[in-house]
Structure 1
Amino acid sequence: MADKKKKLESSATPRRPVILKSDRDVSKDQPKEKSEKEKPPTIILKTREHSTPKDERPASPRSQGNDVEGTQPSKIAQNESKERKDQKFKLMSEPVKLLDENLEFNNAAYEFLNDANSNYLVVGVIGTQGVGKSMVLNLIAQNVPLNDLSRQILNSHEVSPEPTAEANNLTPVESQMESLNITEAANKKSQDKNTFKFKMQDIEFIERGVHCTKGIDMYVTNDRVILLDCQALWSPSLIEETNTNPVTARSANILTVDCLQIASYLMAVCHVLIAVQDWFADYNFIRYIQTAEMLKPSLSASNSVNTSQESSEYNSSVESHPHLLLLHNRCQLEDYTPEAVYTMQDLYRNAFQKSNLQLNSGMYMYSDTNKNGLNIDNVCKGYNVDACGSPMNLFLLPEIYSDFDNRDIYRGHPQFEQLAKRLRWMVLGVNRHQITTVPNLSEKGWFQFCSKAWETIRKCPFFIEYERFLP
């Protein structure tokens, strides 16, 4: 019992309460600590030395930080735009290869293009062998009109004279005079060749029956007009027999597919496509143009090419189609009659009625004020809508004879120089539509698109399937 009482007494003793430190005591101690911490430090100022110049004084860290950070973003954008405008590019003196002899894409023309220019015109030409494709592009490339243009075209087909054995047996004085005449003639011919940028066929090529241009030649004029001269399409001279590539029954089909790919490629990268013929009318040539348009793949994947310019992509599923100019070279007197013009336009209108190529672009031989509002001078006085029908992109160039300067002969058409001048301003004045889905595409951006487009066309299965159906 005594033990129980002791336990009860011990349990009855009260426990000590826990005393917490109040906030008041803490607040009383804080001012003392703050007062000790907030004592102002003693700053010792050093006087400037008069001997140290101003340039050798150390710069403040704030100014150094501003220099490292650079200028504002707006100023950076302005400097980049100025650098783009100040970019220098080379001027072409002669054409370069866009596609070489093996139809491989060549990047040699990239350094001649301007990345800050989006106002350019791309003109391509297609045709069979010897129809005058290079001559047509030479007429368009002429910035300065030539008075003796017809004579220079006639002289371009001649071969430079070579000294014969009889000339070597002349006396020393006569031989010196002959050598001077030969050198003067050679210099004159070299000057004539400089006026024409694209090489044209001379009598040697004509006699051998071979083509002159291989692949696609590219030339950029000072007016930023990009001219593309392609090889002769569907020409047997393109089939070269070598040890590594013998001629087989399939060689003609391979050549046909290669030419169709070139024609489709020019339709994809050009604003204006000139189809040149030297007689009316080559039905196979018209059929090949239709086939090339049919087999041309959609280049929407190639349109998303990485360009250096800052522009948002324009979302459009519409494919661009070039302006097609049907040009007849070496036309005769009867080809300029209103009846002949009506027959030509009626045939082409029916042949391309389901085509997406633009045939009503204003490159006419006479005006049609009722439909399109164009008012241009007629090539001949007898050309009108009633006699020739509604106009389309058709142009006729006459054949140049040796007696072209004889005014007594009735030609039935204006002079060749006047027609060449008319052809040039019609092509250069055509509407420059958007080739790709990227708006305001620069010249270098267009060149990158050309590379992607050729790669897409070469890998397109449509042409391989078309070759299977060829005989």
Structure 2
Amino acid sequence: MSESGHSQPGLYGQGRRRRRRRERDPAGPPGQNLSGPSRDRDYVPRERRDGSEESTGPLLQKTPIILAKPPGERSKASAPASGPPSLEKPIMLIKTRDEGGKPGNPPDIPPSASGAGTAKMEREGQRPTQPVYQIQNRGMGSAASGGAVDPVIGQTKLLPPEKMKHSIKLVDDQMNWCDSAMEYLRDQTDMLVVGVIGLQGTGKSTIMSLLSANSPEEDQRAYVFRAQTQEIKERAGNQSSGIDFYITQERVIFLDTQPVLSPSILDHLINNDRKLPPEYNLPHTYVEMQSLQITAFLFTVCHVVIVIQDWFTDINLYRFLQTAEMLKPSTPSASHDSTGSSGPDDGSEYYPHIVFLQNKARREEFCPRNLKKMHMAVDKLMAHSHLKYKGTLSMLDCNIFPGLSRDYMETEVNLFLLPLMENDGEDALTRAGSGPPLFSLLPGYRGHPNFSSLVSKFRSQILAMSRSQLSHTILTEKNWFHYAARIWDGVKKSSALSEYSRLLS
């Protein structure tokens, strides 16, 4: 009786307080007033937000609205039975390259696994952002996803290029273009193209081998450009035919050519009854037009053209060079460098640097007085040429003549002298077996530095030539190959060369 007496006033007072709250706020459901002793017992949503267990009381439940919650805790929380299922927006994750993912193809991650990936990236201090490739390829459709770059292909572009062991054909003996050089070329623009022309037997292939990959001490049978054998020399034949191609690891392209105005090629055409093309009537006309086509081609696609001669000098060679310059295809150039030029049209048409190499020079040709006369003769013969024949190469800068000043050469042209190649340290008297024993221990007097030293200085000056633009756009190595193929096709179909051939016959 006493227990019921004490409990009845408590229940009565509690009900009266609830009625007063309903009268003061009739729209508020029970449990919304945070004051009073029943706050912790009636406010179920707050306990769910803290992650505690759900109460089992008979109170009315409302669907909680979760504004933000980590995905890991979201999967642990139990969804209410009466409310609609919550929609989760999937997060696309991109694996890094170390995890095996490709930059262009992000893996498909299910929504269930996205929480763990996001948590891992947050622990590592990273944020899942929009991939860059989606921004760049936006609006391109399926073509963008199909053009993704494979990282393996990207790594191969950074590998060192394949080293050539020997030269290959760029133009064969039938004057047809060859595509075998394409595999050795790269997509980079820092290159130098060096070509060579000369009469038969002047040493073109030997000089180009020494400039590119070989040394004078090596066996000539291992040269990248095959030199004349003793058998070919005895029957006065030519070793090279067409145009040979070689590129070094320093990205220097060397083009070795068949001899111009070659008597052995003419003899081969006459004696073997070789059928001429229909546009040529006489064999000597065909040989001269072949030489003009090759020289005009080099004047268009090369930065440097070396003219090799083994005696000074043949006036017909300079006439041939001027004819090839006249028949050269017109090539607009964006470069306005007029260094070494002597004509007003240099800004609108490209002309290469031309270097005259006196091979197998004798001792008296290294005399400063004779050297000055040689420079004056070349300058007068090339006075009306647009080719850059002066100002880019100097023997005085090589310390070959230490007593001479630059004022001694009034008109210094691009002329270099190389002596006859021989084994260094062997004097003529020693090879003959004569002379006193004292002189056999001393180096013989030559009047000039040895052959190896001069070749090294000549190579340094050739590789230091300026690399001006060959066309109106900057060419990569592969673009140069396609550009050279178009030039060669244009030279063979040139109307100016055809008209000149008609005048010769």
Tell whether the 8 Å contact from 1:339 to 1:388 is kept in structure 2 after alignment: no
- Please report how far the alpha carbon of residue 55 of structure 1 lies from its aligned counterpart in structure 2 after TM superposition: 6.8
Alpha-carbon distance change, 285 to 46 in structure 1, aligned in 2, over 3 angstroms: closer
Aligned to 1:457: 491
Alpha-carbon distance change, 201 to 228 in structure 1, aligned in 2, over 3 angstroms: same
Q: Percent identity?
A: 32
- Structure number with higher relative contact order (C-alpha < 8 Å, ≥ 6 residues apart): 1
Alpha-carbon distance change, 81 to 331 in structure 1, aligned in 2, over 3 angstroms: farther
1:384-440 CA-to-partner distances (Å, cap 9, x unmatched) read 34544332210000013468523443211001111011011000011111111102x
1:248-300 CA-to-partner distances (Å, cap 9, x unmatched) read 97110111011101000001000110000000001111111111001112135
| Aligned partner (choices 218, 230, 239) of residue 203 of structure 1 | 230
Aligned to 1:136: 207
Rounded to whole Å, the distance in 1 between the matches of 2:353 and 2:155 is 31
SS of equivalent residue, structure 1 residue 288: helix
| Aligned partner (choices 97, 100, 103) of residue 172 of structure 2 | 100
1:89-143 CA-to-partner distances (Å, cap 9, x unmatched) read 533221111101111111110011001x110110000001110101111121137
- How does 1:23-38 map onto structure 2 within 5 Å? none
SS of equivalent residue, structure 1 residue 94: coil
Tell whether the 8 Å contact from 2:426 to 2:444 is kept in structure 1 after alignment: no
Residue identity matched to 1:466:
Y
Q: Report whether the alignment pairs 1:418 with 2:489.
A: no
Tell whether the 8 Å contact from 1:265 to 1:457 is kept in structure 2 after alignment: yes
Rounded to whole Å, the distance in 2 between the matches of 1:381 and 1:70 is 62
The alignment covers a number of residue pairs equal to 352
SS of equivalent residue, structure 1 residue 72: helix
Aligned to 2:372: 342
Alpha-carbon distance change, 44 to 355 in structure 1, aligned in 2, over 3 angstroms: same
- Please report how far the alpha carbon of residue 86 of structure 1 lies from its aligned counterpart in structure 2 after TM superposition: 4.2
Residue identity matched to 2:420:
E
After TM superposition, the structure 1 stretch with the greater mean CA deviation from structure 2, 376-385 or 262-271, is 376-385
Q: Report whether the alignment pairs 1:261 with 2:299.
A: no
- How does 1:5-404 map onto structure 2 within 5 Å? 44-45=84-85, 71-73=134-136, 86-87=156-157, 89-115=161-187, 117-142=188-213, 146=215, 149=216, 152=218, 156=220, 193-194=221-222, 196-239=223-266, 240-241=268-269, 242-245=272-275, 250-300=282-332, 318-366=348-396, 376-401=397-422
Alpha-carbon distance change, 84 to 231 in structure 1, aligned in 2, over 3 angstroms: farther
Rounded to whole Å, the distance in 2 between the matches of 1:268 and 1:234 is 20
Q: Report whether the alignment pairs 1:436 with 2:471.
A: yes
TM-score (norm 2): 0.63
Residue identity matched to 2:239:
C
Q: Which runs of 5+ in 2 are unaligned?
A: 1-81, 89-107, 115-128, 139-143, 335-345, 428-441
After TM superposition, the structure 1 stretch with the greater mean CA deviation from structure 2, 410-419 or 357-366, is 357-366
After TM superposition, the structure 1 stretch with the greater mean CA deviation from structure 2, 102-111 or 246-255, is 246-255
SS of equivalent residue, structure 2 residue 299: helix
SS of equivalent residue, structure 2 residue 504: coil
Residue identity matched to 1:416:
F
Rounded to whole Å, the distance in 2 between the matches of 1:230 and 1:80 is 40
Alpha-carbon distance change, 58 to 364 in structure 1, aligned in 2, over 3 angstroms: same
CA RMSD after TM alignment: 3.5
Q: Which runs of 5+ in 1 are unaligned?
A: 1-41, 49-53, 61-65, 157-192, 304-315, 367-375
Alpha-carbon distance change, 68 to 414 in structure 1, aligned in 2, over 3 angstroms: closer
Tell whether the 8 Å contact from 1:338 to 1:382 is kept in structure 2 after alignment: no
Tell whether the 8 Å contact from 1:120 to 1:224 is kept in structure 2 after alignment: yes
- Please report how far the alpha carbon of residue 67 of structure 1 lies from its aligned counterpart in structure 2 after TM superposition: 11
Structure with the greater alpha carbon radius of gyration: 2
Rounded to whole Å, the distance in 1 between the matches of 2:131 and 2:407 is 76
Tell whether the 8 Å contact from 1:299 to 1:456 is kept in structure 2 after alignment: no
TM-score (norm 1): 0.67
